[in-house]
Protein backbone atom coordinates (compact mmCIF):
# COMPACT_ATOMS: atom_id res chain seq x y z
CA UNK A 1 0.00 0.00 0.00
CA UNK A 2 2.81 2.37 0.91
CA UNK A 3 4.60 1.52 -2.33
CA UNK A 4 1.48 2.40 -4.37
CA UNK A 5 1.16 5.72 -2.46
CA UNK A 6 4.76 6.62 -3.19
CA UNK A 7 4.24 5.96 -6.87
CA UNK A 8 1.17 8.26 -6.91
CA UNK A 9 3.14 11.08 -5.29
CA UNK A 10 5.96 10.85 -7.81
CA UNK A 11 3.48 11.15 -10.67
CA UNK A 12 1.70 14.23 -9.22
CA UNK A 13 3.55 16.91 -11.29
CA UNK A 14 2.83 15.06 -14.54
CA UNK A 15 -0.80 14.70 -13.57
CA UNK A 16 -1.04 18.44 -12.82
CA UNK A 17 0.62 19.30 -16.12
CA UNK A 18 -1.70 17.05 -18.07
CA UNK A 19 -4.95 17.99 -16.24
CA UNK A 20 -5.72 21.02 -14.10
CA UNK A 21 -2.07 22.09 -14.33
CA UNK A 22 -2.38 22.69 -18.06
CA UNK A 23 -5.51 24.76 -17.55
CA UNK A 24 -3.72 26.69 -14.80
CA UNK A 25 -0.75 27.36 -17.08
CA UNK A 26 -3.11 28.60 -19.81
CA UNK A 27 -4.79 30.92 -17.29
CA UNK A 28 -1.43 32.26 -16.13
CA UNK A 29 -0.40 32.93 -19.73
CA UNK A 30 -3.69 34.75 -20.37
CA UNK A 31 -3.11 36.94 -17.30
CA UNK A 32 0.39 37.81 -18.52
CA UNK A 33 -0.73 38.53 -22.09
CA UNK A 34 -3.77 40.61 -21.02
CA UNK A 35 -1.59 42.71 -18.77
CA UNK A 36 0.85 43.26 -21.62
CA UNK A 37 -1.88 44.18 -24.11
CA UNK A 38 -3.43 46.68 -21.66
CA UNK A 39 -0.47 48.95 -22.30
CA UNK A 40 -0.06 49.78 -18.62
CA UNK A 41 3.42 50.76 -17.50
CA UNK A 42 3.06 49.14 -14.09
CA UNK A 43 4.79 45.79 -13.64
CA UNK A 44 3.11 42.54 -12.68
CA UNK A 45 3.83 41.12 -9.24
CA UNK A 46 4.18 37.38 -8.67
CA UNK A 47 1.78 37.53 -5.73
CA UNK A 48 -0.90 39.31 -7.79
CA UNK A 49 -0.59 36.77 -10.62
CA UNK A 50 -0.80 33.86 -8.17
CA UNK A 51 -3.88 35.35 -6.48
CA UNK A 52 -5.66 35.90 -9.80
CA UNK A 53 -4.86 32.32 -10.87
CA UNK A 54 -6.10 30.92 -7.55
CA UNK A 55 -2.79 29.34 -6.50
CA UNK A 56 -0.18 30.10 -3.89
CA UNK A 57 3.04 31.95 -4.53
CA UNK A 58 4.94 28.78 -3.62
CA UNK A 59 3.01 26.75 -6.22
CA UNK A 60 3.77 29.40 -8.85
CA UNK A 61 7.48 29.19 -8.04
CA UNK A 62 7.51 25.38 -7.97
CA UNK A 63 5.38 24.37 -10.95
CA UNK A 64 5.39 27.45 -13.22
CA UNK A 65 8.80 28.96 -12.60
CA UNK A 66 9.46 29.12 -16.35
CA UNK A 67 6.79 31.87 -16.60
CA UNK A 68 8.46 34.15 -14.06
CA UNK A 69 10.75 35.90 -16.64
CA UNK A 70 7.63 36.81 -18.67
CA UNK A 71 5.91 38.16 -15.55
CA UNK A 72 8.99 40.24 -14.72
CA UNK A 73 9.16 41.57 -18.30
CA UNK A 74 12.54 39.99 -18.91
CA UNK A 75 11.39 37.89 -21.87
CA UNK A 76 9.24 38.66 -24.92
CA UNK A 77 5.57 37.81 -24.31
CA UNK A 78 5.13 36.98 -27.99
CA UNK A 79 6.79 33.61 -27.28
CA UNK A 80 3.77 32.63 -25.16
CA UNK A 81 1.14 33.40 -27.81
CA UNK A 82 -0.33 30.95 -30.31
CA UNK A 83 -2.27 31.98 -33.41
CA UNK A 84 -1.50 34.67 -35.94
CA UNK A 85 -4.14 37.15 -34.75
CA UNK A 86 -3.07 37.00 -31.12
CA UNK A 87 0.59 37.15 -32.06
CA UNK A 88 -0.10 40.23 -34.21
CA UNK A 89 -1.82 41.94 -31.27
CA UNK A 90 1.17 41.31 -29.03
CA UNK A 91 3.64 42.49 -31.68
CA UNK A 92 1.58 45.64 -32.27
CA UNK A 93 1.50 46.37 -28.55
CA UNK A 94 5.24 45.77 -28.40
CA UNK A 95 5.75 48.40 -31.11
CA UNK A 96 3.45 50.82 -29.27
CA UNK A 97 5.32 50.25 -26.01
CA UNK A 98 8.63 50.87 -27.72
CA UNK A 99 7.42 54.15 -29.27
CA UNK A 100 5.91 55.29 -25.97
CA UNK A 101 9.10 54.46 -24.11
CA UNK A 102 11.19 56.38 -26.65
CA UNK A 103 8.95 59.44 -26.58
CA UNK A 104 8.67 59.32 -22.80
CA UNK A 105 12.44 59.37 -22.57
CA UNK A 106 12.61 62.28 -25.02
CA UNK A 107 9.93 64.19 -23.08
CA UNK A 108 11.78 63.67 -19.80
CA UNK A 109 14.99 64.86 -21.44
CA UNK A 110 13.22 67.93 -22.84
CA UNK A 111 11.75 68.68 -19.39
CA UNK A 112 15.21 68.52 -17.83
CA UNK A 113 16.65 70.79 -20.55
CA UNK A 114 13.68 73.19 -20.27
CA UNK A 115 14.03 73.44 -16.49
CA UNK A 116 17.76 74.05 -16.90
CA UNK A 117 17.16 76.79 -19.50
CA UNK A 118 14.40 78.31 -17.36
CA UNK A 119 16.69 78.39 -14.32
CA UNK A 120 19.45 80.04 -16.37
CA UNK A 121 16.97 82.62 -17.70
CA UNK A 122 15.62 83.35 -14.22
CA UNK A 123 19.13 83.62 -12.75
CA UNK A 124 20.11 85.98 -15.56
CA UNK A 125 16.94 88.06 -15.07
CA UNK A 126 17.42 88.22 -11.30
CA UNK A 127 21.06 89.21 -11.79
CA UNK A 128 19.97 91.99 -14.18
CA UNK A 129 17.37 93.23 -11.66
CA UNK A 130 19.94 93.19 -8.87
CA UNK A 131 22.40 95.14 -11.00
CA UNK A 132 19.65 97.64 -11.83
CA UNK A 133 18.74 98.00 -8.15
CA UNK A 134 22.39 98.49 -7.20
CA UNK A 135 22.88 101.16 -9.86
CA UNK A 136 19.68 102.92 -8.78
CA UNK A 137 20.72 102.79 -5.12
CA UNK A 138 24.21 104.12 -5.88
CA UNK A 139 22.83 106.97 -7.99
CA UNK A 140 20.35 107.76 -5.22
CA UNK A 141 23.18 107.83 -2.66
CA UNK A 142 25.19 110.20 -4.86
CA UNK A 143 22.16 112.48 -5.24
CA UNK A 144 21.57 112.51 -1.48
CA UNK A 145 25.25 113.22 -0.80
CA UNK A 146 25.23 116.17 -3.20
CA UNK A 147 22.01 117.56 -1.69
CA UNK A 148 23.39 117.27 1.84
CA UNK A 149 26.62 118.93 0.77
CA UNK A 150 24.60 121.78 -0.75
CA UNK A 151 22.59 122.15 2.47
CA UNK A 152 25.77 122.10 4.53
CA UNK A 153 27.31 124.81 2.35
CA UNK A 154 24.16 126.92 2.76
CA UNK A 155 24.37 126.43 6.52
CA UNK A 156 27.99 127.60 6.55
CA UNK A 157 27.10 130.65 4.45
CA UNK A 158 24.35 131.50 6.89
CA UNK A 159 26.79 131.38 9.81
CA UNK A 160 29.20 133.66 7.91
CA UNK A 161 26.39 136.15 7.25
CA UNK A 162 25.47 136.13 10.94
CA UNK A 163 29.07 136.79 11.99
CA UNK A 164 29.40 139.59 9.45
CA UNK A 165 26.22 141.19 10.77
CA UNK A 166 27.41 141.03 14.39
CA UNK A 167 30.78 142.45 13.38
CA UNK A 168 29.21 145.30 11.43
CA UNK A 169 26.75 146.23 14.19
CA UNK A 170 29.39 145.89 16.89
CA UNK A 171 31.78 148.25 15.08
CA UNK A 172 29.08 150.96 14.84
CA UNK A 173 28.66 150.66 11.12
CA UNK A 174 26.56 153.18 9.28
CA UNK A 175 22.83 152.41 8.77
CA UNK A 176 23.35 151.81 5.06
CA UNK A 177 26.08 149.23 5.71
CA UNK A 178 23.92 147.49 8.32
CA UNK A 179 20.97 147.47 5.93
CA UNK A 180 23.04 145.92 3.14
CA UNK A 181 24.42 143.32 5.54
CA UNK A 182 20.92 142.43 6.72
CA UNK A 183 19.82 142.04 3.11
CA UNK A 184 22.71 139.64 2.56
CA UNK A 185 21.48 137.72 5.56
CA UNK A 186 18.23 136.90 3.74
CA UNK A 187 19.13 133.27 3.37
CA UNK A 188 17.39 129.96 3.82
CA UNK A 189 18.63 126.62 5.06
CA UNK A 190 16.76 123.55 3.85
CA UNK A 191 16.44 120.35 5.88
CA UNK A 192 15.18 117.48 3.75
CA UNK A 193 14.52 113.78 4.40
CA UNK A 194 15.36 111.26 1.73
CA UNK A 195 11.92 109.64 1.64
CA UNK A 196 12.76 108.00 -1.69
CA UNK A 197 15.62 106.07 -0.05
CA UNK A 198 13.30 104.96 2.75
CA UNK A 199 10.78 103.76 0.15
CA UNK A 200 13.55 101.84 -1.62
CA UNK A 201 14.48 100.05 1.61
CA UNK A 202 10.80 99.38 2.37
CA UNK A 203 10.15 97.77 -1.02
CA UNK A 204 13.07 95.40 -0.43
CA UNK A 205 12.10 94.38 3.11
CA UNK A 206 8.37 95.29 3.35
CA UNK A 207 8.83 96.33 7.00
CA UNK A 208 6.81 99.43 7.88
CA UNK A 209 8.30 99.42 11.40
CA UNK A 210 11.78 99.75 9.88
CA UNK A 211 10.50 102.55 7.62
CA UNK A 212 9.06 104.42 10.63
CA UNK A 213 12.20 103.91 12.73
CA UNK A 214 14.50 105.24 10.01
CA UNK A 215 12.22 108.23 9.36
CA UNK A 216 12.26 109.13 13.06
CA UNK A 217 16.06 108.82 13.16
CA UNK A 218 16.38 111.29 10.27
CA UNK A 219 13.93 113.70 11.93
CA UNK A 220 15.89 113.58 15.19
CA UNK A 221 19.06 114.51 13.30
CA UNK A 222 17.29 117.59 11.92
CA UNK A 223 15.78 118.43 15.32
CA UNK A 224 19.19 118.30 17.00
CA UNK A 225 20.61 120.80 14.48
CA UNK A 226 18.04 123.44 15.44
CA UNK A 227 19.53 124.03 18.89
CA UNK A 228 22.49 125.96 17.47
CA UNK A 229 20.07 128.69 16.31
CA UNK A 230 18.82 129.32 19.87
CA UNK A 231 20.75 132.58 20.26
CA UNK A 232 20.39 133.79 16.67
CA UNK A 233 17.97 136.68 16.02
CA UNK A 234 15.23 136.71 13.41
CA UNK A 235 15.17 132.99 12.75
CA UNK A 236 11.98 131.69 11.17
CA UNK A 237 11.34 127.92 11.20
CA UNK A 238 9.10 126.95 8.28
CA UNK A 239 7.66 123.45 8.60
CA UNK A 240 6.38 121.73 5.47
CA UNK A 241 3.64 119.28 6.55
CA UNK A 242 4.35 116.65 3.91
CA UNK A 243 1.26 114.79 2.71
CA UNK A 244 3.08 113.28 -0.29
CA UNK A 245 0.99 115.23 -2.80
CA UNK A 246 3.50 117.98 -3.61
CA UNK A 247 7.27 118.23 -3.93
CA UNK A 248 9.09 119.58 -0.89
CA UNK A 249 12.04 120.72 -3.01
CA UNK A 250 9.75 122.84 -5.18
CA UNK A 251 8.21 124.39 -2.06
CA UNK A 252 11.65 125.13 -0.59
CA UNK A 253 12.98 126.59 -3.84
CA UNK A 254 9.97 128.89 -4.27
CA UNK A 255 9.73 130.04 -0.67
CA UNK A 256 10.79 133.66 -0.12
CA UNK A 257 11.20 134.91 3.44
CA UNK A 258 11.36 138.43 4.82
CA UNK A 259 14.58 140.33 4.08
CA UNK A 260 15.65 140.35 7.74
CA UNK A 261 14.87 136.68 8.41
CA UNK A 262 16.90 133.51 8.29
CA UNK A 263 14.52 130.82 7.03
CA UNK A 264 14.95 127.24 8.23
CA UNK A 265 12.76 125.15 5.91
CA UNK A 266 12.06 121.65 7.25
CA UNK A 267 10.32 118.70 5.66
CA UNK A 268 8.00 117.24 8.31
CA UNK A 269 6.21 113.99 7.34
CA UNK A 270 4.40 113.61 10.68
CA UNK A 271 0.64 113.25 10.96
CA UNK A 272 -0.59 113.08 14.55
CA UNK A 273 -0.80 115.95 17.06
CA UNK A 274 1.44 114.13 19.54
CA UNK A 275 4.16 113.44 16.95
CA UNK A 276 4.20 117.03 15.70
CA UNK A 277 4.30 118.57 19.19
CA UNK A 278 7.04 116.12 20.18
CA UNK A 279 9.11 117.57 17.33
CA UNK A 280 8.24 121.28 17.67
CA UNK A 281 8.96 121.42 21.42
CA UNK A 282 12.65 121.17 20.53
CA UNK A 283 12.52 124.29 18.33
CA UNK A 284 14.22 127.19 20.20
CA UNK A 285 11.63 129.48 21.80
CA UNK A 286 13.26 132.52 20.19
CA UNK A 287 12.39 131.22 16.72
CA UNK A 288 9.21 132.09 14.92
CA UNK A 289 7.46 128.88 13.82
CA UNK A 290 5.00 128.45 10.98
CA UNK A 291 3.67 125.34 9.32
CA UNK A 292 2.45 124.98 5.75
CA UNK A 293 0.15 122.13 4.73
CA UNK A 294 -0.83 121.28 1.14
CA UNK A 295 -4.48 120.69 0.27
CA UNK A 296 -5.25 118.54 -2.79
CA UNK A 297 -8.23 119.80 -4.77
CA UNK A 298 -8.67 116.74 -7.01
CA UNK A 299 -10.40 113.40 -6.58
CA UNK A 300 -9.04 110.41 -4.67
CA UNK A 301 -8.08 108.66 -7.91
CA UNK A 302 -6.22 111.79 -9.06
CA UNK A 303 -4.45 111.95 -5.71
CA UNK A 304 -3.40 108.32 -6.08
CA UNK A 305 -2.12 109.04 -9.59
CA UNK A 306 -0.28 112.12 -8.31
CA UNK A 307 1.56 110.03 -5.70
CA UNK A 308 2.27 107.26 -8.17
CA UNK A 309 4.01 109.71 -10.47
CA UNK A 310 6.02 111.21 -7.61
CA UNK A 311 7.19 108.00 -5.97
CA UNK A 312 8.05 105.54 -8.66
CA UNK A 313 9.60 103.05 -9.04
CA UNK A 314 9.48 102.63 -5.23
CA UNK A 315 6.00 103.53 -3.88
CA UNK A 316 5.23 104.65 -0.34
CA UNK A 317 4.10 102.08 2.25
CA UNK A 318 0.27 101.86 2.38
CA UNK A 319 0.36 102.65 6.12
CA UNK A 320 2.27 105.88 5.42
CA UNK A 321 -0.27 106.95 2.79
CA UNK A 322 -3.14 106.21 5.18
CA UNK A 323 -1.44 108.28 7.89
CA UNK A 324 -1.01 111.22 5.51
CA UNK A 325 -4.64 111.09 4.36
CA UNK A 326 -5.98 110.89 7.94
CA UNK A 327 -3.60 113.41 9.49
CA UNK A 328 -4.84 115.50 12.43
CA UNK A 329 -6.00 119.00 11.49
CA UNK A 330 -3.32 121.55 12.36
CA UNK A 331 -4.06 124.31 14.86
CA UNK A 332 -2.17 127.38 16.09
CA UNK A 333 -2.86 126.25 19.67
CA UNK A 334 -0.22 123.56 19.15
CA UNK A 335 2.43 126.29 19.47
CA UNK A 336 2.60 127.68 15.94
CA UNK A 337 2.80 131.36 15.10
CA UNK A 338 1.13 130.68 11.79
CA UNK A 339 -0.72 127.83 10.04
CA UNK A 340 -0.91 128.16 6.27
CA UNK A 341 -2.86 125.97 3.84
CA UNK A 342 -2.07 126.06 0.12
CA UNK A 343 -3.91 124.35 -2.73
CA UNK A 344 -2.34 121.69 -4.92
CA UNK A 345 -4.14 121.01 -8.19
CA UNK A 346 -3.90 117.68 -10.06
CA UNK A 347 -0.78 117.67 -12.21
CA UNK A 348 0.30 121.07 -10.87
CA UNK A 349 3.95 122.21 -11.08
CA UNK A 350 4.77 121.32 -7.43
CA UNK A 351 4.88 117.71 -8.54
CA UNK A 352 7.19 118.18 -11.49
CA UNK A 353 10.23 115.92 -11.46
CA UNK A 354 13.38 117.08 -9.79
Count the residues in the chain. 354
**Tell me: the pLDDT tens digits for 127-155?**
766 767 777 767 766 766 665 666 666 66
According to the model, what pLDDT value does residue 212 have?
Answer: 95
CA distance from start to end of the chain? 118
Question: Quick one: pLDDT at residue 164?
Answer: 54
Q: Does residue 282 carry a pLDDT above 90?
A: yes
Check: CB of residue 201 under 8 Å from CB of residue 214.
Answer: yes
Helices and strands in the chain: count of H runs, count of E runs? 14, 5
Higher pLDDT, 176 or 200: 200
Can you give the pTM of this predicted structure? 0.50
* 324 backbone φψ class: left, alpha, beta (φ>0; ψ -120 to 50): alpha
What pLDDT was estimated at residue 12?
A: 40
Which segments of the chain are extended strands (E)?
A: 187-191, 235-241, 262-268, 288-296, 338-344
pLDDT for the residue 331: 94
- Give the mean pLDDT of 219-245: 93
Residues 6+ apart with CB under 8 A from 122: none
Spatial distance between the Cα atoms of 290 and 334, rounded to a whole number of angstroms: 11
Q: What is the mean pLDDT of residues 191-199?
A: 92
**Mean pLDDT value across residues 96-105:** 71
pLDDT tens per residue, range 300-327: 888 888 888 778 778 999 999 999 999 9
Amino acid sequence: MSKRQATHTDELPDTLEQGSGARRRKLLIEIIVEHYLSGTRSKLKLKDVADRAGISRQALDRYYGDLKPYIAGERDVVDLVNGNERRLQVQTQAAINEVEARFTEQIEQLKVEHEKELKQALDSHITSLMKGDILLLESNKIRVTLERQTLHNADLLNQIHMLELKLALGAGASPSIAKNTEAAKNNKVVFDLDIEALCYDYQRGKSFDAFEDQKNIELRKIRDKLSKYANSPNVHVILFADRYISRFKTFADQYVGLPEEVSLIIRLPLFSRSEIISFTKHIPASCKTSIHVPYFSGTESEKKLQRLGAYKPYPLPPEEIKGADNADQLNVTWGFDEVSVFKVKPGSPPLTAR
